[in-house]
Structure 1
Amino acid sequence: MTKIAILCDSDPFTKPRPSRMIEMLEGHYDLYVFGKGVATGKEGIRIFSFPNSKSAAQRTAQEEEELRNLCRQREFAPLIFTPNRLVLQSRLMAVEGLEILIVEDITLLPFAVEYKERYGSCKIVIDLREFYPLEYENDRGWQESFGLFFEYLCGTYLPYVDWALSVSEGLIAKYKEVFGLECELFLSLPPLYDLHPQINSHLELVYHGLISPDRESENLLQIASLLNKGIYLNLMVLSNQDWFLQEFKKEAQKRSNVRILEPVKLEEIIPRTNAFDLGLITLQNNGFNNTNALPNKFFEYIQARLGVISTPLPCVRAMIEEYQIGVVSEDYAPLSVAKMVNALSGERVLDYKRRAHQVSATLSLKANQVKILSRIKALLEEGK
């Protein structure tokens, strides 16, 4: 059976796109999964775990400044070949005969390129979930340090890629414009769940996922304070910045129409949120990646048979209008979002939920599986 490796700079089983890539390929190919700090195995898949490293939040100020100085001096090797990734490098190079390497994080692309140069015949696929050189574009210090690092990774290693995937048309256009890279749209579609729209006596909103200052996530609480009586906002939130999460929860407790839900495992998010009515997307147009986002949660809301309420992100707006499964606010202000929610009738909300149910199979993992299996087959045939 053809050997395929998936390289992930985190635990792939806890991240939507890597975990679903594994699910789509499982049983069709001999899978080798390389992940950071992988907690659990999976029958029939070879798991190669390499150690965790300190996150930005865990690094001391001195450690952070040392890394930034390396970036400013354009000494990028120490940022690529970190001690924990040297473990990955050793384990990857020891596996002969891999025909396709699927890179889920651009920080691991150099190792895929090294493998390709050593063994010659393999193909490289990369999943580009952000335009990485602009990931924190509003942070000047980041842009003048780590931004240079990601620009280097893209410029140096993307030319070796045989097939690039990305999450939205906006990102696809940007990679073409800046790096001359052709990408293919690959939506973040979840598995199909056997669910039906639920009927509630009052309107229940939900938001699940990461919150952070750069996402201006405090706008969720501002929206809640502007909702009509009898409309509730349920929040299942995580954050990479614990101080922000704790402050957010503290503020949320002051609002009687806000409930904080305990986070659940990735595969439990959709059935857990099926009880609600409308899923919220509140990203702002405060940077390239946010403006051009088409988030995982958009498709997870649909799979949970919810209508979708969103700020006017271009890619999200296009899909909401195509499938008629929700409504987009006039602008990005919390007041605009709240006014839109307050104006919705119960029948209109139920109609959005019914439409989400109708397109749930179309916008599910099966559609992506057909695409990925066909494309990988073509890549393998190119090498013969």
Structure 2
Amino acid sequence: MRPKILCISFSDIRADARVLRQLDILAEFGDVTTLGYGDKPDGAADHLRIDSALPSLPQTLTGVALLAVRSFGRLELAAPAVRSAADLAAGRTFDLVVANEARALPLAHHLAAGAPVWGDMHEWAPEERVHVLSWRLLIKPFMRYICAKYLPRTQAVTVVNDSIARLYEHEFGCATATVRNARPFEQLSPSLGSPDTIRLVHSGAAVPGRNLEGMIQAVNLLGPGYSLDFYLVPARDGGKYLRSLESLASGPNKVTFHPPVSPAALPGVLNGYDIGIFSLPPRTRNHALMLPNKFFDFVQARLAIVFSPSVETTRLIEQFDLGAVTEDFSAESLARTLQQFDSSRIAACKANAHSAALELSSKIDEEAEREILRRLLPQA
């Protein structure tokens, strides 16, 4: 009988590229039940759906009061989505439980009932949204409590890059493995440039704090001959933030908002553009140490890349000569950097992305995950 694996993610897994890649590897080793928002993802044998209206943090009046007095032990399973998830999975047994992000760790250990737990922390949990005052005052201490309590008893811990791995090892004393947000190798070639327009593109989530406004401002500072296309997953706000972005896009250059594209289809869609862009001021340590999905999406799409400064992305852009890094995080700096690109430089960077695409694919990351599963599921 194949092992039974539970994969918890408080996200819409069908739109969560990292968890979808994780699910593909999990399915090699057992029958996977997913527990999260949205519809059943491909690759799952079963799916337990949480109502998307339920928050995964204790954002009730009682929850906020308990956060304020640091009564964290009473909050571990108190968030509405966590309570619902516990009820949905009650009575089931699993050979392995995977928790995506720190907020899922208490539930994972509760449902594991002694089975091994793999905690994929993704990024640095205590500072996920530390630029928001309520997070900094209430949620950050709760995340530190969860990490300090549960990471030492979690049999495998993974993160998105080596810089964040060192943070967990230093702060919580846990051994970690790096599983980047790299995606599988794509059989694509660089597209030919347009003779009269440099086509800029950005893909990701339409949520506040991602500096999407700055990218719109930058393209509006450029002279003629530039366009910017967005492929954005709407926030859980009924599209309010996305509409506010659309209202900013009234400058001289063409800014177009497209419906979101599935993670599997994204490189093929992005391949028709010239430069993938992202500028994110380091308001948190996660911002400063970012190595996001979109970086690897742009590489597999064979695009030139322009990012703002960050330890991990700057190293790779420079190592493989993929594009350029802005001087700072301003819209003006992004515009100045983009103006350095002509058709020949874009073609050269696209060619370099093509040469690096295999090395920057998910091959080594998938093997790191398989090694964890061989260790935690020796019978598989």
Q: Could you say whether these structures have the same fold, taking a TM-score greater than 0.5 normalized by the shorter chain as the test?
A: yes
**Pairs aligned (count):** 374
Distance 1:64 1:44, change over 3 A: closer
Does the 8 Å CA contact 2:29/2:373 hold for their aligned counterparts? no
Shift of the alpha carbon at 1:150?
1.4
Distance 1:259 1:81 in 2: 41
Q: Deviations over 1:262-319 (max 9, x none)?
A: 2222222221111001101111122211111111100001111111101011110011
2:167 matches 1:174? yes
The aligned residue for residue 228 of structure 1 is 223
The aligned residue for residue 112 of structure 1 is 108
Shift of the alpha carbon at 1:108?
1.9
The aligned residue for residue 145 of structure 1 is 138
The aligned residue for residue 263 of structure 1 is 260
The aligned residue for residue 321 of structure 2 is 324
2:361 matches 1:374? no
The aligned residue for residue 202 of structure 2 is 207
Does the 8 Å CA contact 1:172/1:185 hold for their aligned counterparts? yes
Does the 8 Å CA contact 1:67/1:79 hold for their aligned counterparts? no
Q: Write the letter of the residue equivalent to 1:100.
A: L
2:350 matches 1:357? no
Distance 1:309 1:253, change over 3 A: same
The equivalent position to 2:213 in structure 1, one of 196, 218, 224, is: 218
Distance 1:295 1:357 in 2: 19
Distance 1:177 1:41, change over 3 A: closer
2:100 matches 1:99? no
Distance 1:74 1:229, change over 3 A: same
Distance 2:344 2:159 in 1: 36
Distance 1:78 1:243, change over 3 A: same
Tell which deviates more after alignment, 30-39 or 189-198.
30-39
2:226 matches 1:237? no
Shift of the alpha carbon at 1:342?
0.6
TM-score for the superposition, normalised by structure 2: 0.90
Aligned residue for 1:80, secondary structure, equals coil
The aligned residue for residue 198 of structure 1 is 191
Root-mean-square deviation over aligned CA pairs:
2.5
TM-score for the superposition, normalised by structure 1: 0.89
Shift of the alpha carbon at 1:83?
4.8
Distance 1:257 1:86, change over 3 A: closer
Distance 2:71 2:189 in 1: 54
Does the 8 Å CA contact 2:326/2:334 hold for their aligned counterparts? yes
Tell which deviates more after alignment, 11-20 or 69-78.
69-78
Distance 2:44 2:144 in 1: 37
Q: Write the letter of the residue equivalent to 2:110.
A: E
Does the 8 Å CA contact 2:34/2:40 hold for their aligned counterparts? no
Shift of the alpha carbon at 1:170?
2.4
Aligned residue for 1:367, secondary structure, equals helix
The aligned residue for residue 54 of structure 2 is 54
The aligned residue for residue 86 of structure 2 is 89
Q: What 5-or-longer segments of structure 2 have no aligned partner?
A: none
Q: What 5-or-longer segments of structure 1 have no aligned partner?
A: none
Distance 1:64 1:82 in 2: 8
Aligned residue for 1:370, secondary structure, equals helix
Distance 1:38 1:243, change over 3 A: closer
Does the 8 Å CA contact 1:124/1:161 hold for their aligned counterparts? yes
